[in-house]
Amino acid sequence: KAGVTQTPRYLIKTRGQQVTLSCSPISGHRSVSWYQQTPGQGLQFLFEYFSETQRNKGNFPGRFSGRQFSNSRSEMNVSTLELGDSALYLCASSSGWQAATYEQYFGPGTRLTVT
Amino acid sequence: GQQVMQIPQYQHVQEGEDFTTYCNSSTTLSNIQWYKQRPGGHPVFLIQLVKSGEVKKQKRLTFQFGEAKKNSSLHITATQTTDVGTYFCAVGSYSGAGSYQLTFGKGTKLSVIP
């Protein structure tokens, strides 16, 4: 089985712009979660989708949004980028309906740099 | 939301020495997962523990869940250079907004000196 794929792998944006990141889960997985990883804050939960519905949302401002499509692929969007949004954005898929109780398979991540 | 403390933050060991990282919570946990992230890589699932006092082994790795389900440890016997990376614990928890999410510890970065 192919693993979780994320595109693009690297991205450089300027403050005020918006960005869309994409994630394709492992075939058959309907749960997709997104995490932000920074040296200072570590791995932080952004949101979780299951069957096109957002099931859980982390403590991030409304500039961070996401969605999931009928084929389980997911996108996350960050609007009005700030310097502090520079991070590695990781997508993870799981076979269960509640991500926190099932093994998470992570993708390679998208490295976002905001200048 | 749930706070989980992971110690130590860094650990440098000589190849062949043992290594242990601990994860502690002030509240009872439903489950705990362990992940390993190699430098430049992404987290890879190692194991999930759900039962009080549970002990699981994977070759040189031993995982324990405390009797009170408030702490957990990962022990590596006779470290090798392939063990280098950051080890994270992650727990399922409800956030202040009622969202049930996976909360990660800050991780223990392991360096192995050959």
Q: In the prediction, which pLDDT does B2 show?
A: 65
Residues of B within 8 A of A109 (CB-CB) are 42
pLDDT at B1: 59
More confident position, A43 or B2: A43
pLDDT at A98 over 90: no
What the block records as the tokens of A113 is 């740099």
Mean pLDDT, rounded, for A86-109: 93
> Is the minimum CB–CB distance between B30 and chain A shorter than 8 Å?
yes
Helix/strand/coil (H/E/C) assignment for every residue in chain B? CCCEEEECCEEEEECCCCEEEEEEECCCCCCEEEEEECCCCCEEEEEEECCCCCEEEECCEEEEECCCCCEEEEEECCCCHHHCEEEEEEEEEECCCCCEEEEECCCEEEEEEC
pLDDT digits (tens, 9 = 90+) for B25-37: 999 999 999 999 9
State whether residue A59 is helix, strand or coil.
coil
CB distance from B73 to chain A under 8 Å?
no
CB contact under 8 A, B31 and A101: yes
Tokens, residue B103: 């909360």
Nearest to A42 among B44, B96, B107 (CB): B107
| pLDDT tens-digit map of B78-109 | 999 999 999 999 998 887 667 778 899 999 99
Q: Are A106 and A91 in contact, with CB atoms under 8 Å apart?
A: yes
- Give the pLDDT mean for B4-17: 97
Q: How far apart are CA A90 and CA A37, in angstroms?
A: 7
Q: pLDDT tens across A36-60, in order?
A: 999 999 999 999 999 999 998 998 9
pLDDT higher at A115 or A96: A115
Q: How far apart are the first and last CA of chain A?
A: 37
Task: Give the pLDDT score at B95.
Answer: 72
Amino acid at A80: T
What is the average per-residue pLDDT within A69-79? Answer: 97
Identify the pLDDT of residue B29.
Answer: 92
pLDDT of residue B99: 73
pLDDT confidence of residue A101: 85
Angle at A93 (CA atoms; ends B26, B94), nearest 5 degrees: 25
Residues in chain B within 8 Å Cβ distance of A92:
43
Q: What is the pLDDT of residues B19-76, one digit of tens each?
A: 999 999 999 999 999 999 999 999 999 999 999 999 999 999 999 999 999 999 999 9
Report which of B87, B75, B77 is spatially closest to residue B111, judged by C-alpha positions.
Answer: B87
